Structure 1
Amino acid sequence: MHRETPMHPEPHAPRRAPAHPRGDVGRRVAARRHELGLSREDLALRAGSAPGYIQYLEEQPATPGVAFLLRLADALETTVPALTGAAAGPPPAELLRTVELDPAACWALLDTHGVGRIARQTPDGPVVLPVNYLVTDGRVAFRSTTPTSSGTADADLAFEADHIDETSGQGWSVLLVGPVHDVTDPAAVERLAARADGGPWTGGEGSHWTLLAPQRVTGRRILLAEP
């Protein structure tokens, strides 16, 4: 989707922008804008931004920085807690419901994020580590400073990613389980590195890439119950 260049630098948005469920902040911004009878152009002018960024914010799961949220709240004649949902507090547990996700929905959610967790057994017991990841051809690729499979081909591993809105109580979680192997082909490593955004989440060079080919894909979403 084409976006106009903002008048002022805005926070980095999520890595990809296909049609995914919009974020909580964007939903509240759109609702408040409609209450005031403002167009996106009107709001952009008030906030010193661009209509294209306002559209992106309302339609994608973006998370603006505090400085822009302050300008946005002022432009919408409201407060930052109101836009982020902190003023409302979480809904009662009885108003929430859990929905099981099919594999297609799981992959769509994974494609909106870039940080997950891997869980594996070690000689000292199970460990859970955060990793940057990307989705490629029905597999998850992530990199680290040392080989993940420890030289053992097809070692089983679990990968999890999630998003929780603590103010609304809603969110989702996806779990992948399957064999992994280290990527050793230089051309394949180069292709993955070209698609990556920055270095490993934990720092370092991160020259070792691992591919997880899941045999099991499960997920769930927590939503507000229908009235």
Structure 2
Amino acid sequence: MTAPADGRGDLGRRAAARRSELGLSRAEVAQRAGFAEEYLAHLEEHPGPAPGTATLLRLAGALRTSVPALLGGEQDLPPGLGQAAAHPELVELTEQECRERLGRHGVGRIALYTEHGPAVLPVNYTVVDGSVVYRTAHGSTPGQAVGQEVAFEVDHVDEAMSRGWSVLVVGRALQVGAPEEEVRRLAREARSEPWAGGERELWVRVQPERITGRRIDIP
């Protein structure tokens, strides 16, 4: 298998992404796993055969995930395959907590009506001035959201801890056009290119009218 162009193997990318998701430093994860920090850096930054089972189990435990997840064995499966906790508690999020979980950017789902009926599609998004912004192609399905009241949803599932949260934004979708300075500003502030690639020059802004969310806690 050809190594990725950035010099990191799949295991290293997944481990680094999970560590970032948890807000942990390399030193913290290395200590939890009983590794030298230099060894963890090597795993994250250099492709190569996966380490032994004992090492993988220690790394998965430190990152609060599973060995199959680290190795990509669950990448084509939907989240939520793990068992529910014994006594889960569903908690409503405040608006501030919802906005914090929206963060600055990521991948969410836009729900809209099309000429063929309702549709829900994933989009790369950025939060700018409190609004959800995404770019798409003219004539695309996500582009049909313009002028509609739509719903935008983002969520996270922690399989290892049987926890998760979801945030729902409801508002009107508007096309961002003139002035051109605004379009250029959005392009500068977008944290990532659309994963689907291609020419995507239509910017859509969803101005929140309602923001609600829930999380699953384990008492």
TM superposition score normalised by structure 1: 0.67
Match of 1:33 in 2: 31
Please give the alpha-carbon distance, in whole angstroms, between the structure 1 residues aligned to 2:194 and 2:204: 12
Match of 1:60 in 2: none
Consecutive unaligned residues in structure 1, runs of 5 or more: 1-7, 15-21, 50-63
- Alpha-carbon shift at residue 166 of structure 1 (Å): 2.0
2:66 alignment partner AA: A
Structure-2 change in CA distance of 1:127 and 1:34 (3 Å) = closer
Identity, % of aligned positions: 33
Structure-2 change in CA distance of 1:164 and 1:179 (3 Å) = same
Q: Does 1:180 align with 2:173?
A: yes
2:153 alignment partner AA: E
- Alpha-carbon shift at residue 220 of structure 1 (Å): 0.8
- Alpha-carbon shift at residue 187 of structure 1 (Å): 1.5
Q: Is the 8 A contact 1:130 1:201 kept in 2?
A: no
How many residues in Structure 1 have an aligned counterpart in Structure 2? 191
Please give the alpha-carbon distance, in whole angstroms, between the structure 1 residues aligned to 2:32 and 2:85: 29
Please give the alpha-carbon distance, in whole angstroms, between the structure 1 residues aligned to 2:82 and 2:46: 21
Structure-2 change in CA distance of 1:136 and 1:112 (3 Å) = closer
2:65 alignment partner AA: G
Structure-2 change in CA distance of 1:66 and 1:126 (3 Å) = farther
Please give the alpha-carbon distance, in whole angstroms, between the structure 2 residues aligned to 1:132 and 1:165: 21
Please give the alpha-carbon distance, in whole angstroms, between the structure 2 residues aligned to 1:95 and 1:31: 28
Cα RMSD (Å): 3.9
Structure-2 change in CA distance of 1:30 and 1:152 (3 Å) = closer
Q: Is the 8 A contact 1:90 1:168 kept in 2?
A: no
1:45 aligned to 38, 41, 47, which one?
A: 38
- Alpha-carbon shift at residue 125 of structure 1 (Å): 0.5
Match of 2:150 in 1: 157
- SS class of match (1:187): helix
Match of 1:115 in 2: 107
Match of 2:76 in 1: none
- Alpha-carbon shift at residue 91 of structure 1 (Å): 5.5
2:177 alignment partner AA: T
Consecutive unaligned residues in structure 2, runs of 5 or more: 1-6, 68-80
Q: Is the 8 A contact 1:142 1:210 kept in 2?
A: yes
